[in-house]
Amino acid sequence: MAKRIEASNVTAYYGAFKAIENINITVEPKTVTALIGPSGCGKSTFLRSINRMHEVLPGARVEGSLTIDDQDIYDRDVDVTAVRRMIGMVFQRPNPFPTMSIYENVVAGLRLNGVRKKSILDEAAENSLRSANLWDEVKDRLGKPGAGLSGGQQQRLCIARTIAVEPQVVLMDEPCSALDPISTLAIEDLMFQLKDKFTIIIVTHNMQQAARVSDRTAFFSIEKTGDPGRLIEYDNTQKIFSNPSQKKTEDYITGRFG
Amino acid sequence: MGETPHRSADAGTGGTRVTESHERSAGASARLVEAPVSTRTPGGTGLGGGGALPRARAFGAERGFRGLTLAAGTVVLVIIAAIAVFLVAKAVPAIRADTENFWTFEGWFPNDSEPKFGIGALAFGTVLTAALALLVAVPVALGIALYLSHYAPRRVGTTLGFLIDLLAAVPSVVFGLWGREIFLRPVQDFSVWLNKYFSWIPIFGGEGPFGKSILLGSLVLAIMVLPIITSLSREVFLQTPTANEEAALALGATRWEMLRTAVLPYGRPGIIAAVMLGLGRALGETIALAMTLGITFNISFNLIQNGGNSIAANIANTFGEANETGRGALIASGLVLFAITLIVNITARVIIYRRREFTESAA
Ligand SMILES: Nc1ncnc2c1ncn2[C@@H]1O[C@H](COP(=O)(O)OP(=O)(O)O)[C@@H](O)[C@H]1O
Ligand SMILES: [Mg+2]
């Protein structure tokens, strides 16, 4: 239920603009990896190239190789929808389907996979909502619109929706940046539990959050605007935050804390 | 301070009340009485002002505008009521004079000394042509709209979208002429073919002649409502939040599944509105149907034989030689058409209202 991701020389473009260059990272199963770095350094771009969401934008493309348990996800013969099912994604702003109920939102992915049987859907909905620590709050109003929940609940609903299809990897792009501190803590707690089952990669602006939740941290940066983002340092979170080997990393981390 | 004179003039009108209330209050407000609104302009105590809060003005643009809109609204209601009273007053005597059943009689002879006319066949034709037109137009329109919004390259989508908007501006008489002069031929051939192989289905039966039929009228109507429905649904589809489309894709949806999961449900109220607008146009369409239907007065589901009629087409065709009762009868038919459109619109609103919980949070 969790797989290893290996990125080698990943370079991504928006049209002619090179957003990230030669990213090399290996992410071990059942760990939480945090991507940190200043705005615009390509964290989201890299994250979206892991589940092939980058190429959804017109003119956007990815070079290099990305494997998940040694299977190249950019291989010509690979079905892109299968990749996205295997690698789930939680977005920066909670984005439940506004026309669907809480229940329908959670089982949306299963329905897309052709699951029709009510008993299976019910069970998956309950399990996912429980895993997302949302079940107790919504169990009495599963038929109500998902968009009627609070921001933090909506984000947990989106997490439930993502894990309902039982992916191997869960990508999260600043999942707490639109949330209040209490909801943020709820989601951080959730990440600890989820890493028993999933490989998690999270982009965060919040250094304390990276330090709290992640096992490994990757620091991205850019020289100046217009340059592609690069991976500066990738190491155990403890090491990055206590004794980074790169000057840039240290500047960034101390600058933020100082 | 360019605006000050104008503003204080305004304030003067409501001045009495302002002054009254201020006389009882503390000194700070005395200054306000002299220059009641200057705090709004940069020259005063400043925008975030250190002084006391300015009083709301009794008469200002806000109130004036409210009065104006209220008056306009009232006038419109009065006019509508007057029209309704007038129409009913004309229609009732004509229906009284009808020697046949107004609802079921199949024929229209209101100008005879013993007037005979019935709305049944006309209402039937109106609803049937409009329904058939939508049956053909809606799937095609939604298909084109989805293509333009989510499949076509952006430039192609914009260009084609513009062309379709142009098509919506073509006057209906042009469609009518085109229908009877040009489109009639292929529809005729198609009808003959249908009749040859499918005459065992009653709607394609009959001995002919074929051509100026419900089928022709409905197809012309379909082409007329297609651009409206396409154009509005395209707008609606384009408004789907990217975040929702991406959510569907990230769950492993194909593009079509993404459209079904995120775009179509989100656009549902908009689609219903677009279809209703198309239906409104189809139900009320006059001249194009007057030119393409066979103008008969019987209730028949046969689609391909010469025949068919509609309320609006009948008004256009017979108004010229109508006498007093004849005009009353036509007005009565117009009221029935109004009732039909009203029912259709209310139904649509009920459908949208039922799901409001979901659509409101969508906005
Ligand atoms: N849709 C897009 N089209 C063009 N350029 C983009 C797009 N999204 C992001 N970029 C650019 O790519 C670079 C990296 O962006 P992003 O990955 O969003 O950074 P981060 O998530 O680290 O803030 C930025 O320079 C940004 O302007
Ligand atoms: Mg980002």
CA distance B233 to B142: 7
- Using one digit for the tens of pLDDT, what is the confidence trace for B348-361? 888 888 777 776 55
**Residue B320 belongs to domain with CATH number:** 1.10.3720.10
Q: Closest residue of A to B250, CA-based?
A: A84
| From A10, A43, A45, mutation site for ligand 1 pocket: most ligand atoms within 8 A of C-beta | A45
Q: By the CB < 8 Å criterion, does B271 face chain A?
A: no
The verdict on a CB contact (< 8 Å) between B251 and A165 is: yes
pLDDT of residue B35: 45
Mean pLDDT of chain B: 85
| From A41, A55, A202, A230, mutation site for ligand 1 pocket: most ligand atoms within 8 A of C-beta | A41
Rounded mean pLDDT, A225-240: 93
Is the pLDDT at B111 greater than 60? The verdict is yes
> Smallest Cα–Cα separation from A133: which of A203, A200, A202, A182?
A182
Q: Which residues of B touch A55 (CB under 8 A)?
A: none
Q: How confident is the model at residue A214 (pLDDT cuts 50, 70, 90)?
A: very high
Q: Is residue B149 part of a domain?
A: yes
| From A17, A206, A225, mutation site for ligand 1 pocket: most ligand atoms within 8 A of C-beta | A17
Rounded mean pLDDT, B269-298: 91
CA distance B108 to B87: 19
pLDDT of residue A224: 84
Q: Is residue A133 part of a domain?
A: no
Interface of B with A in 317-356 (CB under 8 A): 355
Tell me if A167 sits within 8 A of A138, measured CB to CB.
no
Rounded mean pLDDT, A127-153: 93
The verdict on a CB contact (< 8 Å) between B362 and A99 is: yes
Q: By the CB < 8 Å criterion, does A155 face chain B?
A: no
Atom 14 of ligand 1, nearest CA residue: A42
Q: Is residue A19 part of a domain?
A: yes
Rounded mean pLDDT, A80-100: 94
Residue with tokens 């649904």: B233
When CB atoms are compared, the residue of A58, A81, A88 closest to B254 is A81
Distance in Å, CA A74 to ligand 1 centroid:
21
Is the pLDDT at B7 greater than 60? The verdict is no
Distance in Å, CA B106 to ligand 1 centroid:
69
Number of Cβ within 10 Å of residue A132's Cβ equals: 26
Q: By the CB < 8 Å criterion, does B168 face chain A?
A: no
Q: Is residue B10 part of a domain?
A: no
When CB atoms are compared, the residue of B247, B252, B355 closest to A95 is B247
CA distance A45 to A17: 12
Q: Is residue A216 part of a domain?
A: yes
Q: Is residue A140 part of a domain?
A: no
CA distance A53 to A80: 9
Q: How confident is the model at residue A183 (pLDDT cuts 50, 70, 90)?
A: confident
- Residue B234 or A254, more confident: B234
Please state the separation of Cα A90 from the chain's center in Å.
5
**SS3 at position B201:** coil
- Using one digit for the tens of pLDDT, what is the confidence trace for B145-191? 999 999 998 899 999 999 998 988 899 999 999 999 999 999 999 99
Q: By the CB < 8 Å criterion, does B357 face chain A?
A: yes
- Using one digit for the tens of pLDDT, what is the confidence trace for B12-21? 343 344 434 4
Q: How confident is the model at residue B347 (pLDDT cuts 50, 70, 90)?
A: confident
Rounded mean pLDDT, A202-231: 92
pLDDT of residue B360: 58
- Residue A179 or B215, more confident: B215
Query: 0.90 exceeded by the pTM?
Result: no
CA distance B35 to A77: 78
The verdict on a CB contact (< 8 Å) between B357 and A144 is: yes
Rounded mean pLDDT, B193-217: 90
Q: Is residue B69 part of a domain?
A: no
CA distance B76 to A228: 62
Mean pLDDT of chain A: 92
Rounded mean pLDDT, A122-138: 94
Distance between B162 CA and the closest CA of chain A, angstroms: 22
When CB atoms are compared, the residue of A109, A145, A147 closest to B251 is A109
CB proximity list for A236: less than 8 A, separation 6 or greater: A215, A216, A217
> Smallest Cα–Cα separation from A159: which of A200, A100, A204, A111?
A200
Least confident of A212-216, B27-31, B260-264, B325-329: B27-31
Q: How far apart are the first and last CA of chain B?
A: 41
Q: How confident is the model at residue B262 (pLDDT cuts 50, 70, 90)?
A: very high
Tell me if B332 sits within 8 A of B117, measured CB to CB.
no
- Residue B58 or A212, more confident: A212
Percent of chain A having pLDDT more than 90? Answer: 79
Rounded mean pLDDT, A22-41: 94
Q: Is residue A27 part of a domain?
A: yes
The verdict on a CB contact (< 8 Å) between A98 and B358 is: yes
Atom 17 of ligand 1, nearest CA residue: A42
pLDDT of residue A257: 39
The verdict on a CB contact (< 8 Å) between B250 and A161 is: no
Is the pLDDT at A72 greater than 90? The verdict is yes
Tell me if B244 sits within 8 A of A98, measured CB to CB.
yes
Q: Is residue A46 part of a domain?
A: yes
When divided into structural domains, chain B yields a total of: 1
Pair type for strands A199-203 and A32-36: parallel
A19 lines ligand 1 (CB under 6 A): yes
Domain boundaries, position A78: 5-95+168-253
Q: By the CB < 8 Å criterion, does B266 face chain A?
A: yes
CB proximity list for B255: less than 8 A, separation 6 or greater: B150, B151
Q: Is residue B22 part of a domain?
A: no
pLDDT of residue B359: 64
Q: Which residues of B touch A144 (CB under 8 A)?
A: 357
Is the pLDDT at B295 greater than 70? The verdict is yes
Number of Cβ within 10 Å of residue B118's Cβ equals: 22
Is the pLDDT at B40 greater than 80? The verdict is no
pLDDT of residue B24: 43
Q: By the CB < 8 Å criterion, does B97 face chain A?
A: no
- Residue A154 tokens read as 């909506």
Q: What are phi and psi of A172, to 5 degrees?
A: -130, 125
Please state the separation of Cα B246 from the chain's center in Å.
33
Q: Is residue B48 part of a domain?
A: no
Q: Is residue A12 part of a domain?
A: yes
* Atom number of ligand 1 nearest to Cα A41: 22
The verdict on a CB contact (< 8 Å) between A84 and B251 is: yes
CA distance A4 to B3: 70
Q: Is residue B76 part of a domain?
A: no
Number of Cβ within 10 Å of residue B93's Cβ equals: 14
Could you write out the DSSP letters of every residue in B92-160? HHHHHH-SS-TTT---EETTSSS-EE-SHHHHHHHHHHHHHHHHHHHHHHHHHHHIIIIIS-HHHHHHH
Tell me if B311 sits within 8 A of B333, measured CB to CB.
yes
- Residue A4 tokens read as 């290893």
ipTM value: 0.93
pLDDT of residue A205: 87
**Residue A201 belongs to domain with CATH number:** 3.40.50.300
Residues β-bridged to residue A63: A11
Q: By the CB < 8 Å criterion, does A148 face chain B?
A: yes
Rounded mean pLDDT, B111-118: 92
For residue A146, CA distances in Å to A125, A140, A182, B192 come to 13, 13, 20, 54
Least confident of A48-62, B36-50, B314-328: B36-50
For residue A180, CA distances in Å to A132, B168, B334 come to 17, 49, 59
Q: By the CB < 8 Å criterion, does A26 face chain B?
A: no
Rounded mean pLDDT, B126-143: 96
When divided into structural domains, chain A yields a total of: 1
A119 lines ligand 1 (CB under 6 A): no
Is the pLDDT at B39 greater than 50? The verdict is no
Is the pLDDT at B78 greater than 80? The verdict is yes
Q: By the CB < 8 Å criterion, does A163 face chain B?
A: no
- Residue A241 tokens read as 């935050």
- Give me the helix-helix angle, B264-284 and B324-354, nearest 10°: 180
- Using one digit for the tens of pLDDT, what is the confidence trace for A96-123? 999 999 999 999 999 998 899 999 999 9
Domain boundaries, position B351: 116-362
Least confident of A219-223, B245-249, B322-326, B351-355: B351-355
The verdict on a CB contact (< 8 Å) between A91 and B248 is: no
Is the pLDDT at B229 greater than 70? The verdict is yes
Distance in Å, CA A172 to ligand 1 centroid:
16
CA distance A186 to A203: 17
Least confident of A165-174, B7-16, B278-287: B7-16
Q: Is residue B55 part of a domain?
A: no
| Residue B56 DSSP code | P
Q: Is residue A209 part of a domain?
A: yes
pLDDT of residue A6: 94
CA distance A161 to A128: 7
Percent of chain B having pLDDT more than 70? Answer: 84
